[in-house]
Structure 1
Amino acid sequence: MSADAGLPGALAHLQPLLDRGGYAALALLVGLDNALIPVPGQTMIIVAAVYAGTGRMNVVAVSLVAWVAATAAAEAAYLLGRRRGSTLIDRYGRYVGLTPQRYARAETFYRRRGIPIVLVSRFVDVLRQTNGLLAGANRLPHPRFSAANALGAAFWTVVWTALGYGAGTDIGPLYHQAMRYQLLLLPALALLLAAFVARAWLKRRHQQAQDHPSVPR
C-alpha cells in the first residue's frame, strides 16, 4: 500500500501503521479502543475504509475485522468487570464519588437500562472504552450484553466503514463534521441517563412512601 492517500490530520498519522500492519493493525487498534485503552481505533476504521475505497483493502474484510475485534474486546472487558469490577470499584470508586450506596443504585439502574447504553456507547468516547467493564461490574446478564454488544459493534463498524469508503480521499470535511456531532452526543446521552436516574429515584421514593406511610399524630 502507498502511504500517500491524501488524508488530513489524525487520519494521515495512522497511514504508516496501516501500511505496515494491514488488517492486524486494524484489529489491534480497534480491539484496544473497545477494551479500556483510548487509542484511535475508530479513526483507524475510517482510514482502512478509505484504503478499501481506493482498492488497497477489501471493504468487507475491513468491516468484519473491525466488528470481530470490537466485539471480542468488549466481551473480554465484560468478563473482567464480572470478576474484578466490584473490587476495582470498592478500591478506587471513592476517588470519583462512587460510594457503596451509589454503586448499589447504579447496579440496579444498569440492569434495567444497560442494553440501550451498550448499543450506543461506542459512539461516545470514554463510554466506548469502558462499556464492557461497566456492564460486567454491574452484572448485566451475559446473554443480553453479548447480543447488544455484537449489534452495537456492527452498527458502529458499518457507520464508520461506510463513511470512509464512500468519501474516499475527500473524507476530511466529513470526518470533522462527524466528530463534531459525536461530541454533541455525549451531553445528550448524559441528559438521557440523568433523566432515567431521576425517574428511577422518584419511583423508588414513591414506592418507599407507599410501603412505609407516615402515621398521623
Structure 2
Amino acid sequence: MQHWLTTIPPLVVLLLVGLVVFVESIGVPFPGEIVLVAAALAASQHKISAGPFAIALAAVLGAAIGDSIGYGLGHRYGDRLFGWLERRFPKHVNADVLAYAEHVFQRYGVVAVFFGRFVALLRIFAGPLSGSLRMHYTRFLPANVLGAICWAGGTAYLVYYLGAAAETYLKNFSYAGLAVAIFLGIIASTLLRRRLERNVQEYAELRRAAD
C-alpha cells in the first residue's frame, strides 16, 4: 500500500485517504485505517509531498461526512441497509456482529459513537446504527466530529512522527527496533481483534440462551 501511494500525485493520495475513510464510515467494510497509516508513514519518510495536517484533515472530513451520511441511511432505511450489508459482506457483517454492535450503541449512546471510532467493528457501524436507533442528530454530530478529529488526527500525527523518529534511529543503529515495534503492534491488534470476537460470541450465546 505504501509503495503504491508513492506512485500517485500527493493530491490524489489525500483524496484517496478521504474517500476510503468516507466509504468505511458510511458502513461499508473498507480498510480506512490501513490507508491512513500508509499515507502518514509515506509522508514521514518524505516519499509523498504531504504533511500530517493535510492527511489528518482529509481523513477527518471523510470520517465526519461519511458517518453523517451513514446516519441518514440508517435513519431512513434501517434493516434494509443492514440486510444488504449482510448479503454483500457476510464475513464482516452478520446477525451476531450486528446484534453486538447494536447492544453497545444502545447501552453507551454517544460514548460509543466517540470511542467506537477507534475500534474497526464499531467504526463501520457508528453512523448507520445511530440513525437506525433514532439517536438525536444533535447528540450524534458532536461525538461524531470529535471522534473523527481524535482518531484521524491522532493516528496521522502519531504515525508520522513515529515514522520520522524510526527513520532517524535506523540510520544510526539497526532494524531491530522496527522489527520489535512491528511485532508488538501485531500482537496488540491480534489480541484486540480476538477480544472483540469473544465479546461478539459471548453476547450471541446470551441472546440464544434468553430466546
TM-score normalised by structure 1 residue count: 0.66
Give the Cα–Cα distance (whole angstroms) in 2 for the partners of residues 82 and 38 of structure 1.
Answer: 19
2:104 equivalent to 1:121: no
Identify unmatched segments of 5+ residues in structure 1: 1-9, 197-217
Q: Match of 2:20?
A: 29
8 A Cα contact 1:46 1:163, kept in partner = no
Question: Would the alpha carbon gap of residues 132 and 47 (structure 1) be closer, same or farther in structure 2, given more than 3 Å must change?
Answer: same
Question: Would the alpha carbon gap of residues 129 and 180 (structure 1) be closer, same or farther in structure 2, given more than 3 Å must change?
Answer: farther
CA deviation vs aligned residue, 1:57-92 (integer Å, no higher than 9, x gap): 022121111101111001100110000114446899
Aligned identity (percent) is 26
Give the Cα–Cα distance (whole angstroms) in 2 for the partners of residues 52 and 80 of structure 1.
Answer: 34
**What letter corresponds to residue 184 of structure 1 in structure 2?**
L
SS state of the match for residue 123, structure 1? coil
**What letter corresponds to residue 41 of structure 2 in structure 1?**
V
**What letter corresponds to residue 139 of structure 1 in structure 2?**
R
Q: Match of 2:206?
A: none
Q: Match of 1:61?
A: 54
CA deviation vs aligned residue, 1:74-129 (integer Å, no higher than 9, x gap): 11001100001144468999x9558xxxx8xx979734512121112222223221
8 A Cα contact 2:5 2:13, kept in partner = no
Give the Cα–Cα distance (whole angstroms) in 2 for the partners of residues 83 and 159 of structure 1.
Answer: 32
**What letter corresponds to residue 136 of structure 2 in structure 1?**
P
8 A Cα contact 1:34 1:130, kept in partner = yes
SS state of the match for residue 39, structure 1? coil
Q: 1:162 aligns with which of 140, 157, 164?
A: 157
8 A Cα contact 1:124 1:182, kept in partner = no
2:175 equivalent to 1:184: no
Q: How many residues align?
A: 188
Q: Which stretch shows the higher mean deviation, 109-118 or 14-23?
A: 14-23
Q: Match of 2:134?
A: 139
Give the Cα–Cα distance (whole angstroms) in 1 for the partners of residues 42 and 109 of structure 2.
Answer: 35
8 A Cα contact 1:124 1:186, kept in partner = no
Q: 1:79 aligns with which of 72, 83, 108?
A: 72
Q: Match of 2:207?
A: none
Q: Match of 1:42?
A: 33
Question: Would the alpha carbon gap of residues 123 and 109 (structure 1) be closer, same or farther in structure 2, given more than 3 Å must change?
Answer: closer
Larger radius of gyration: 1
TM-score normalised by structure 2 residue count: 0.67
8 A Cα contact 1:81 1:134, kept in partner = yes
SS state of the match for residue 30, structure 2? coil
Give the Cα–Cα distance (whole angstroms) in 2 for the partners of residues 85 and 64 of structure 1.
Answer: 30
**What letter corresponds to residue 114 of structure 2 in structure 1?**
L
Give the Cα–Cα distance (whole angstroms) in 1 for the partners of residues 71 and 161 of structure 2.
Answer: 33
8 A Cα contact 1:36 1:129, kept in partner = yes
**What letter corresponds to residue 144 of structure 2 in structure 1?**
N
Give the Cα–Cα distance (whole angstroms) in 1 for the partners of residues 118 and 197 of structure 2.
Answer: 13
8 A Cα contact 2:5 2:39, kept in partner = no
